[in-house]
Structure 1
Amino acid sequence: MPRLSRAESQARTREQLIATAKELFLRDGYGPTSLDKVADAAGYSKGAVYSNFRNKDELCLAVLDDIHAEQAARIAEVITGSTTVEERLTRFQEWAERNIGDQAWTALEVEFAVNARRDERLRTELARRDKGIRDIIAGLVTANSTEFGLDLPLSSDDAATALLSLGIGLGIQRAIDPTIPVGVLTDVMRLVAGRAVSER
């Protein structure tokens, strides 16, 4: 087996640190998880962590980026292959039932956002990522409205802001009370798409 280059070795170390930190942050929370714990659990020195991340905040941003990319890929997979608006909404709702309100993920997002409130640089990083997510949603809204010839009652950007805000709020509520139905989100999507809301 060929020996890894320095860059490949560093990339592998970084991936392993992110995977380990993700497991610990989701299991134990942001506050209780120290860089020492991440290093120990991953089998590296603390120096290896600092050679890849300036601090715990930067490591957590990388973990959140990983989670967001994973969920975005799942949503794209849900949408791909669906040939009607209703089929896409149904499949999206199935994803939402499984993921919106996940206690570990929701708690990590909220804890980290609260942690960032006094750090302007960190708030800027979170705001940039939040805009990136809204842009992805706006792109999906635009693509679907074009594909199905939908006349939307608001801009794709505004629809993305409304849907993301509703999704985040619903996630927090469902993390507390999982019996809260997720269908309200897909019903709002139906309204935006000019479809009738289903009876529950």
Structure 2
Amino acid sequence: MAARAHDIDLVPTRLEDRVTDQSPTTKAPSRAERQAQTREKLIAVSREMFIADGYAATSLDKVAEAAGFSKGAVYSNFSGKEELCMEVLDAIHADLLLGVVEAFTAETDFDGRIDAFTRWARVQLGNPLVTALEAEFSAAARQSAYVAEQLRNRHRAMTAEISRLLRDVVEEAGYDVAFDPDKAAVALLSLVIGVGAMRSLDSRLDLDIIGETFRTLLRGVTAPTRVRTS
């Protein structure tokens, strides 16, 4: 079962927004299309700057200059730096979640999918600059009710998507869902976040622990589906 972008509900239009029509056309882009292109470029440029320099050191003036736009163009697309950084984190998390979906929908058996997830973790988890940005931005939630609410909403959306994915994977493997998928999703997300933070400090950390722990978790809370006899 191949992963599909529209299966991801973390940011309902995030992945679609980044897919552009490559068909040739002579028609000039509309105002809405130009604005979408401007918004996309601002997110791409600010993503590089936020990751490289951090949240506090990245100003909207610097983003506008690097992207080749006026500061007014930034404010016509985003209410401020908080919303822009939230969009950047949404794009990062959508990319990560797509990788998780692809691992758990690979054309293999139950254990093979966990192995694929472990391989994904080895490559994707623990980028120290991304981890630092997430920590710095999360700290802003102490002073901003907007940031706090947005982060809560996104974590809940991510948990719900992982919960749905776990239920599908377990049922497809022929196991009864003998656990609360929402609680298992929280446990998995906490494991990934925690190990990712640790790896950002110690690149030698063995990420096989993620696959081993996850395999133990699912084996321990599931049971093979019983074959019913008439």
TM-score in terms of structure 2 length = 0.81
- For each residue in 1:50-91, what CA deviation from the matched residue of structure 2 results, as whole angstroms up to 9, or x when unmatched? 000011000001001111111122222223333211110111
The answer as to 2:203 corresponding to 1:178 is: yes
The answer as to 2:64 corresponding to 1:39 is: yes
Deviation, structure 1 residue 164: 0.5
For 1:26, give the aligned amino acid: I
Deviation, structure 1 residue 153: 5.4
For 2:153, give the aligned amino acid: R
Aligned to 1:74: 99
Deviation, structure 1 residue 194: 0.9
Please give the secondary structure, in 1, of the residue aligned with 2:184. helix
1:54 pairs, out of 79, 85, 102, with 79
Please say if residues 64 and 71 of structure 2, whose CA atoms lie closer than 8 Å, have aligned partners that are also in contact: yes
Please say if residues 152 and 192 of structure 1, whose CA atoms lie closer than 8 Å, have aligned partners that are also in contact: no
Deviation, structure 1 residue 150: 2.3
CA distance in 1, matches of 2:165, 2:172: 10
> Which gives a bigger RCO, structure 1 or 2 (Cα 8 Å, sep 6+)?
2
Please give the secondary structure, in 2, of the residue aligned with 1:193. helix
Q: CA RMSD in A?
A: 1.3
For 2:214, give the aligned amino acid: M
The answer as to 2:143 corresponding to 1:113 is: no
Q: Which one has a bigger Cα radius of gyration?
A: 2
Aligned to 1:154: 179
CA distance in 2, matches of 1:79, 1:108: 27
- For each residue in 1:3-50, what CA deviation from the matched residue of structure 2 results, as whole angstroms up to 9, or x when unmatched? 111110100000000000001111111111110111011000000000
Aligned to 1:130: 155
CA distance in 1, matches of 2:197, 2:106: 30
Identity %: 43
Please give the secondary structure, in 1, of the residue aligned with 2:38. helix
CA distance in 1, matches of 2:112, 2:102: 13
Please give the secondary structure, in 1, of the residue aligned with 2:175. coil
Aligned to 1:90: 115
For 1:110, give the aligned amino acid: A
CA distance in 1, matches of 2:51, 2:62: 14
CA distance in 1, matches of 2:91, 2:162: 17
Which one is further off, 145-154 or 90-99?
Answer: 145-154
Structure that is richer in helix per residue: 1
Which one is further off, 177-186 or 70-79?
Answer: 70-79
Aligned to 1:198: none
2:212 pairs, out of 184, 187, 194, with 187
Aligned to 2:30: 5
Please say if residues 167 and 177 of structure 2, whose CA atoms lie closer than 8 Å, have aligned partners that are also in contact: no
Deviation, structure 1 residue 184: 1.8
